[in-house]
Amino acid sequence: MPTLTLIQAVNDGLKVSMRQDESVLVFGEDVGPKGGVFLATEGLTAEFGKARCFDTPLSEDGIIGTAIGMAANGLRPVCEIQFQDFIFPAFDQIVSEAAKLRYRSGGQYTAPMVIRTPYGGGIRGGLYHSQSGEAYFAHTAGLKVVIPSTAYDAKGLLLAAIEDPDPVLFMEPKALYRHEKGEVPEGHYTVDLSTLRTVREGDNVTVFCYGSMVPVVEKAAAKAAEQGIQCEVVDLRTLLPLDEQGVLDAARKTGRCVIVHEAPRFCGYGAEISAMIAENIIEYMEAPVRRVTGFDTPFPNTLEHHYLPDERRVLDAIEEVARY
């Protein structure tokens, strides 16, 4: 079984899907012969031709609008938004058109399309290339929001997303593109959407995370174990639809929870997890839920290392809820 980086796994997943289904098309800004800013689409134009992997104008709303039309007419487009920060000109197309197509047509039309986009910090990209906007889209019925954290999941979740009958926003943690490596099966396989991944088992504190925060939490959990605090580390993977029962079971197991994400704290995705726990299993909780997040400011450039949650901040939260 080959060992791939996360970005190589994405590339492999695209190739596998395009080889087995001629209706799969890949397009976006610079994704053609250049292979994309991060080389996620490297080699696709050479293998499949310009009709199936091609560059578009610099128009995010045009990219998404075109994908919706293709999806409604029998194709399976996989379009790339070069950085998640650039997705907002296409916000209306995503939340008002793609996500609503099945509902507004009474099921006559669907939008089987995937929007791939790198998100988050870790490359010193500053405020216009480092945002984490998952909460904007997780608020939208009819849309799926997926964030892998491993090479295995990146390929398996991407293949599942491409085969899904509805639109999927596939957000890739660019900080892990070349730092996360793992064994990835050759050929076709899928990882079910709306399923959690238990990264580490423990009985004292449950830590929920996703994307680039997973390895940060793993390091903090290892440090906590040296103090006798055993953490259950849970990778959410699919934010919408969320495996709600899985979240509640993991929270109930320890009665003490920490939620970690790099997006800002206020109205961040962690607030939904916290509310879900409070509304359903408050009687099982032994401590208040603690969130470790980015700050409620624009994403900084030179102070990126202070903005992003790190091992120390996560460990502090774990120790706090363990002591409560």
Of the three residues 138, 159, 183, the one that is the final residue of a domain is: 183
The pTM assigned to this predicted structure is 0.97
Same domain, 166 and 215: no
The whole-number average pLDDT for the span 202-209 is 98
The whole-number average pLDDT for the span 87-109 is 97
The whole-number average pLDDT for the span 226-242 is 98
Q: What is the pLDDT of residue 267?
A: 97
Same domain, 24 and 158: yes
CB atoms within 10 A of CB 71: 25
Same domain, 27 and 166: yes
pLDDT at 132 over 90: yes
Within a domain: 190: no
pLDDT at 316 over 90: yes
Within a domain: 54: yes
Within a domain: 47: yes
302: pLDDT confidence band, cut at 50, 70 and 90? confident
Of the three residues 158, 183, 208, the one that is the final residue of a domain is: 183
Question: What is the total count of domains within the chain?
Answer: 2
**pLDDT tens per residue across span 147-181:** 999 999 999 999 999 999 999 999 999 999 999 99
Same domain, 122 and 170: yes
Within a domain: 188: no
Of the three residues 155, 183, 211, the one that is the final residue of a domain is: 183
Q: Judge contact between 236 and 208, C-beta under 8 A.
A: yes
Q: What CATH number should be reported for the domain holding residue 7?
A: 3.40.50.970
Supply the range of the domain harboring residue 20.
3-183
Q: What CATH number should be reported for the domain holding residue 204?
A: 3.40.50.920
Long-range contact set of residues 57-62: C-beta below 8 Å, sequence gap at least 24: 57/29, 58/29, 59/89, 60/86, 60/87, 60/88, 60/89, 60/90, 61/89, 61/90, 61/92, 61/93
Please choose, from the candidates 41, 29, 148, 35, the residue with its C-alpha nearest in 3D space to the C-alpha of residue 85: 29
Q: What is the pLDDT of residue 263?
A: 98
Same domain, 150 and 13: yes
208: pLDDT confidence band, cut at 50, 70 and 90? very high
Same domain, 208 and 302: yes
Same domain, 108 and 228: no
The whole-number average pLDDT for the span 47-69 is 97
Q: Of the ranges 13-17, 126-130, 275-279, 312-316, which one carries the lowest mean pLDDT score?
A: 126-130
Q: Judge contact between 256 and 288, C-beta under 8 A.
A: no
pLDDT at 297 over 90: yes
Within a domain: 191: no
The whole-number average pLDDT for the span 69-92 is 97
**pLDDT tens per residue across span 19-42:** 999 999 999 999 999 999 999 999
Within a domain: 228: yes
Q: How far is CA 209 from the centre of its chain?
A: 11
321: pLDDT confidence band, cut at 50, 70 and 90? very high
The whole-number average pLDDT for the span 279-286 is 98
Same domain, 170 and 202: no
Within a domain: 192: no
Q: What amino acid positions are annotated as catalytic residues?
A: 129
Same domain, 208 and 173: no
CB atoms within 10 A of CB 55: 16
Q: What gap in Å lies between CA 15 and CA 28, rounded to an integer?
A: 16
Same domain, 235 and 288: yes
Q: Concatenated DSSP letters for 140-179? A: -TT-EEE---SHHHHHHHHHHHHHSSS-EEEEEEGGGTTT
140: pLDDT confidence band, cut at 50, 70 and 90? very high
CB atoms within 10 A of CB 203: 13
Q: Of the ranges 118-132, 144-158, 189-203, which one carries the lowest mean pLDDT score?
A: 118-132
Average pLDDT value over all residues in the chain: 97
Q: What is the pLDDT of residue 212?
A: 97
Same domain, 158 and 246: no
Q: Judge contact between 44 and 187, C-beta under 8 A.
A: no
- Residue 265 exposure: Cα atoms within 13 Å on the Cβ side: 12
Same domain, 164 and 219: no
Q: How far is CA 32 from the centre of its chain?
A: 23
